[in-house]
Structure 1
Amino acid sequence: MGPYPLVAHVTATEDRAGAGLSRVLRGGVLNMAGAAVGAGLNLAVIVTITRAFSPETAGLLFSATSVFLIAATVAGAGAPDGLVYFITRLRVLGRAESVRRLLRVAMGPPVAAAGLLGVLMVLFAEPVARALATEDAETYLRLLAAFVPFAVMVDSALAATRAHHDMTATVLVDKVGRPLAQLALVAAVALSGSAGLLALAWAGPYLPAGVLAWFWLGRLLTRAAPAPRRGGAPAVTEAGTGTDAAPDTPDGLRSDGSVSPRVFWSFALPRAVAGVAQMGVQRGGVVLVALLSGLSGAAVFTAATRVMVLGQFGNQAVLSAAQPQFAEQLATGDHTGVRSLYQAGTAWLVCLTWPLYLSALVFAPQVMSLFGPGYAAGVTVLVVVCSGQLVGSALGMGDLILAMTGRSTLNLVNNVLALAANVLVCVALAPALGATGAAVALVASVVVRKVLPLLQLRKRVVLHPFGDAVMLAAGSAVIWFAALPLLTVGLLGQVPVALAVSIAVGAVGHLATVWRLRGHLGLRLRS
């Protein structure tokens, strides 16, 4: 049976496709609830900033925080994805006792890199301020620099909890607690009228979030620790005594069940570059618009893309729950389970995100008026972004599956190509079209990142994004959140009453339809 005799038992009891779907759905439901709250809180933060401060001040904060998030992603060095990938394997193979050692391997370099990048942000704050033509940028960047290590700690600790199928920490700490604290602090700063404290109000909650995330993980590891063997004898594998010098096995683990730094970072570092590319796509447009079209344009672009970010909370809810299950299925060769989960997960994404994007398309003028009178220029940006996100949701989670196969290099190439498409199109269009040009660039990058993995996975796992479940989910969303709103607007016009009626009736109709079709959509909490 090889060095891991527990594999047969685990795969026989936990890796059935139905059980996997149920477990992912339970985690996804919790994440979706947290995502809904977190989305509302993050939107409230943006609206508070745009309403209380000038577009220039808002654009400066959005640009500075984009630099912060890119720096945190760079410093993370792919450790969160590496932790999910290897902790899942350690648990599947009955080696949970090696998780603490893995955390020591995974956390040292990212924390050191975060400190270094914080220093660089301080050193380069003045040149960046000159490029943006505002001295306040120097203050913002220097304040944000102190919190980069805490952002890295939050991401890594919560990734480790998700690898244990614990979604509660991610929901309470990151999706609800941190944005709630940001909203409270930003509102206080808005009332005081001191724009100089905005950066501190936005970044400050990362410190308690980091402490809470690691405390939660510590308790989880204590509960998951295996019972000591009789007589206190150490575990001995078939391959030897389990020393640190044990050679690597084909699946990346040493014969004693631990993960060597070489194996961990050979997986994580390509993911790090891929993560930086993804963050560059999400946040780089804000910085580029600020440099090429001014801070006001950056504020408009950020406000208009908030709907995309709201949808990403839904995406992350499903992806975070599905990631460890995909890793387990691929580790045990359960390709049927992978295809089943991919189809169901894509249908869930469509059910969750299409109502948001379709509603924003129909009521784009009203959505942009939420941010204040100076943001009407973002209507076109909103339409472009939502159209691209509809396509992206329907193409599903191929990029996540590619990463969980261990093919980090291909995933890296895809994300770099997506970033290149984003930058090239943005540089070409943003000087003339401003935020609209950046929106077109964003859509181009989404298409590149979603299509390439489906082509690259064909030889291992053939995935079809447009199955019956996806078509049913899309049909329900189009009927209740496109056809019905358009009819309502035709009767009542672009007025708040039309928006309220459409959302209320559409939500009830969509939920009823999804519930009626729950069997076809894989929405069963019990297998």
Structure 2
Amino acid sequence: MTHGVLAADPARATRGAARGGLANMAGSALAGGVGVVVTWVVARRLGQAEAGAFFSATAAFVLAGGVAKLGTGTGLVYWPARLRATGRDHLLGACLRTGLGPVVALSLALAAALWFAAPNDTLRTLALFLPLQVLTDTLLTATRGYRSMRPTVLVDRVIRNVLQLLTVGAAALWFASLPGLALAWALPYLPAAVLAGLAARRLYRAGRPTGATSRQVERRALRREFWLFTGPRAVAAVAQLALQRVDVLLVAALGGLGAAAVYAVAGRFVILIQFANQGISQSVQPRLAEALSTGDRAAANRLYQVATGWLVLITWPINLLVILFAPYYLRFFGDGYAAGTPVVRVLAVAMLVATGCGMVDMVLAMAGRTSLNLGNVLVALAVTIGLDVLLIPRWGALGAAAGLAGAMVANNLLPLVQVYRGTRLHPFGPGTRAAALLSIGCFGLLPQAVTALAGDGPAGLALATAVAVPAFTAGAWLLRDRLELGAFTRRNPQEAS
């Protein structure tokens, strides 16, 4: 896509992002639901201490994978988009090789280190699948660099998650040991890696310019520029994963495995919100990179604001409902988890702030400010570790929730200021404001009024939801133009898919 195309039809990028985002959000909803069910199976099948050990092991596994990916989750989207936008398509193959080679080598080295250093068979089992996890995620990132969301949706969101549900369910029925459940949880990465490789190969061959060759000096310059951009993001990606996972490990170490299980279960809804964020941001990301690389700030700002409006419209009702139904949501996993109600509410309020800023971390990275991005994540990580160490011994899981909430607020407000000062982009367009007010009115104020009259028991909450959902649906329909919901249905037949 060229600057001229973007400027001539700025709505085209929005429609493309909407179509890719809708498919990804549908897949993300499935993945998030599967994650909740898998958590329920583990929590119900194992005691709190064993469940805490399982969640701690999978957190360490994901954290190790984040280290191995070296920030290519951003680099392999940013650089292919930039190369296409600036007419350097002939370097796409060199770009993919630059990113994939070091990632594969490091994943194998970390898998070996994790195998020998693992304190138990559960983590040792997971170590076997670390290269497959890393390869799957990296190859799917490369397909998104070609603006194709289909492989991510089908392979990662649908196939891997459905297989994970089936294998964990079977393991829970037949051999509910910790290593057995870990094996069942990780096994779907094998077919996922194969399918991701086939998808990346197909897109690479289809997008390779005919007869184009690259010179060694160009490839050398690209490698240098790729890692100058991606290097800070590599550290930031690890710190970002640590933000999401280290709190579980700290609760296990400072508060015990039982408290870690309560915290992991209470925070499971956050994964749903993160999947929704990924569903939209992964579709917007390559288009935003192209707009910024050609200096089209108007198109970039439009994408950022419209996408944030969609994100708020989807996630704020979920957060507000979670706040309302927290005690009942937790009892779904077992009576012993109801103590996590304050944890749920603290995290839900923090997620309202985070999603209200949109995918600001990604916008900062696509603007090329990966060093600022790294600094923000390190500040947020320091906040969460500092608060965790201070508060977990006294408050247990609630202390960890306070630490994560503080980190989420810092990790969104800091880049929000930096994005505006550096690029004059901000997420607070008419769609964002409309989505926020509609969500607060229908799922915040309206349920409070209904439960004040009908009580806050199950019957009152059910009535409040029965009133809120149709009111929200009607409001979204009336505000559809301001929210640009037509982008999900309108299609110009001359546009490429």
Both proteins in one fold, TM over 0.5: yes
Q: For residues 334 and 14 of structure 1, do their structure 2 counterparts lie closer, same or farther at Cα, with a shift above 3 Å needed?
A: closer
Q: Is 1:435 aligned to 2:418, yes or no? A: no
- Aligned-pair identity in percent equals 41
Corresponding pairs, count? 487
Equivalent residue in structure 1 for 2:228, among 262, 266, 282: 266
Alignment partner, residue 192 of structure 2: 209
Q: For residues 284 and 349 of structure 1, do their structure 2 counterparts lie closer, same or farther at Cα, with a shift above 3 Å needed?
A: same
Map of 1:359-378 to 2, 5 A cutoff?
A: 359-378=321-340
Alignment partner, residue 54 of structure 1: 47
Residue type of the partner of 1:124?
A
If you compute each CA radius of gyration, which structure gives the higher value, 1 or 2?
A: 1
Residue type of the partner of 1:60?
A
Q: How far, CA to CA, are the matches of 1:365 and 1:408 in structure 2?
A: 40
Residue type of the partner of 1:81?
T
Q: How far, CA to CA, are the matches of 1:505 and 1:410 in structure 2?
A: 44
Q: Is 1:30 aligned to 2:23, yes or no? A: yes
Alignment partner, residue 103 of structure 2: 110
Would you say the 8 A contact 2:77–2:142 is kept in 1? yes
Q: How far, CA to CA, are the matches of 2:465 and 2:233 in structure 1?
A: 39
Map of 1:66-77 to 2, 5 A cutoff?
A: 66-77=59-70
Alignment partner, residue 486 of structure 1: 448
CA-to-partner distance for each residue in 1:39-94, whole Å, 9 max, x for gaps?
11111111111112111111111000000000000000011211101111122233
Q: For residues 442 and 98 of structure 1, do their structure 2 counterparts lie closer, same or farther at Cα, with a shift above 3 Å needed?
A: same
Q: Is 1:523 aligned to 2:490, yes or no? A: no
Higher mean C-alpha deviation, range 65-74 or range 316-325: 316-325
Q: Is 1:277 aligned to 2:239, yes or no? A: yes
> How much does 1:198 deviate?
0.9
Residue type of the partner of 1:320?
Q
Q: Is 1:286 aligned to 2:268, yes or no? A: no
CA-to-partner distance for each residue in 1:422-468, whole Å, 9 max, x for gaps?
10011110111011000000011111111111222334322344343
Would you say the 8 A contact 1:327–1:405 is kept in 2? yes
Q: Is 1:82 aligned to 2:75, yes or no? A: yes
CA-to-partner distance for each residue in 1:88-145, whole Å, 9 max, x for gaps?
112223333432222221111111111111122122223xxxxxxxxxxx01110010
Higher mean C-alpha deviation, range 478-487 or range 337-346: 478-487
Q: For residues 62 and 164 of structure 1, do their structure 2 counterparts lie closer, same or farther at Cα, with a shift above 3 Å needed?
A: same
Equivalent residue in structure 2 for 1:324, among 286, 302, 321: 286
Alignment partner, residue 423 of structure 2: 461
Higher mean C-alpha deviation, range 65-74 or range 447-456: 447-456
Of Structure 1 and Structure 2, the greater helix share is in 2
Q: For residues 187 and 498 of structure 1, do their structure 2 counterparts lie closer, same or farther at Cα, with a shift above 3 Å needed?
A: farther
Q: How far, CA to CA, are the matches of 1:220 and 1:499 in structure 2?
A: 49
> How much does 1:414 deviate?
0.6
Q: Is 1:171 aligned to 2:153, yes or no? A: yes
Would you say the 8 A contact 1:277–1:416 is kept in 2? yes
Would you say the 8 A contact 1:351–1:477 is kept in 2? yes
Would you say the 8 A contact 1:339–1:461 is kept in 2? no
CA-to-partner distance for each residue in 1:372-409, whole Å, 9 max, x for gaps?
11101110100000010001111222221110111111
Equivalent residue in structure 2 for 1:225, among 208, 220, 240: 208
Q: How far, CA to CA, are the matches of 1:51 and 1:494 in structure 2?
A: 27
Aligned alpha-carbon RMSD (Å): 1.8
Partner-residue secondary structure (3-state), 1:460? helix
Would you say the 8 A contact 2:115–2:128 is kept in 1? no
Equivalent residue in structure 2 for 1:382, among 344, 351, 354: 344
Q: How far, CA to CA, are the matches of 1:489 and 1:413 in structure 2?
A: 44
Alignment partner, residue 250 of structure 1: none
Would you say the 8 A contact 1:359–1:485 is kept in 2? no
Q: Is 1:311 aligned to 2:273, yes or no? A: yes
